[in-house]
Chain A
């Protein structure tokens, strides 16, 4: 699944560790999501949407990178 987490994170000058803390997951999980290797659950995707004050579909795109 494609997503804009890396871009949104960079715009706010956050590290992967910062985002991981905010979303209460490990830094490895953020890295895997950004690389499209792991698809987040719906609750985690909603949490990210709330954090960035954006609709979920503007962060995550249901188009597979593989």
Chain B
């Protein structure tokens, strides 16, 4: 039992490390997105060279965050993974349905202003969070 426990502790430690990596890369990606969003106006007066560099940095950190998320998912146990995958499926579906309708909202003259694509990110995040909460509660 001791050997099993030691191995289990190691796996638990690796799981925590994966969570920390995900948090670090998510924060870094958000920071690089802020740099790309506000840098041209506030830091380098719309110089396209710096803007392209900021965009490349954002893509690079975004890729690292995606891989960290994938790694984090692989470190979960099978029930946690199931909850996460179901939440991702719900979130993807809701975002697709909402996004498609939201994109037509101006064309159908329901609203006078242009839809902001970043609103879809909010819907995606909220639906993902709610789905994880519902999934976790279902297996309690």
Q: Give chain A's interface residues, CB within 8 Å of chain B.
A: 21-22, 24-26, 28-29, 31-32, 37-38, 40-41, 44, 51
A41 to B, closest residue via Cβ: B78
Q: Output the least CB separation between A66 and chain B (Å).
A: 13
A29-B8 contact in complex given A37-B138, A38-B139, C-beta closer than 8 Å: no
Are B77 and A25 interface neighbours, CB within 8 A? yes
Closest to B11 in A: A24
Alpha-carbon gap, A31 to B5, bound state (A): 19
Interface size on B, residues (CB 8 A): 17
B79 to A, closest residue via Cβ: A29
Are A38 and B11 in contact, CB atoms less than 8 angstroms apart? no
Q: Is the CB of B139 within 8 A of A28?
A: yes
Chain B residue contacts of A21, Cβ below 8 A: 4-5, 8-9, 12
Contact of B7 among A24, A29, A31, A51 (CB under 8 A): A24
Spell out B's residues near A (CB within 8 Å). 1, 4-5, 7-9, 11-12, 77-80, 82, 136, 138-140
Q: Which residues of B contact A28 (CB under 8 A)?
A: 79-80, 136, 139-140
A44 to B80, CA, bound (A): 14
- Closest-by-CB residue of B relative to A12 is B1
Collect the chain A residues with CB atoms within 8 Å of residue B4's CB.
Answer: 21-22, 51
Task: Say whether A22 contacts B78, CB under 8 Å.
Answer: no
Structural contact, B79 and A26, CB atoms closer than 8 A: yes
CA–CA, A57 and B65, complex, Å: 42
Contacts of A29 in B (CB 8 A): 77-80, 139
Q: CB-CB < 8 A to A32: which residues of B?
A: 79, 139-140
Q: Which residue of chain A is the closest to B7 with respect to CB atoms?
A: A24
Besides the contacts A21-B5, A21-B12, what 19 more A-B pairs have beta carbons closer than 8 Å?
A22-B4, A22-B5, A24-B8, A24-B11, A24-B77, A25-B77, A25-B78, A25-B79, A26-B77, A28-B136, A28-B139, A28-B140, A29-B78, A31-B140, A32-B139, A32-B140, A38-B79, A38-B82, A38-B139
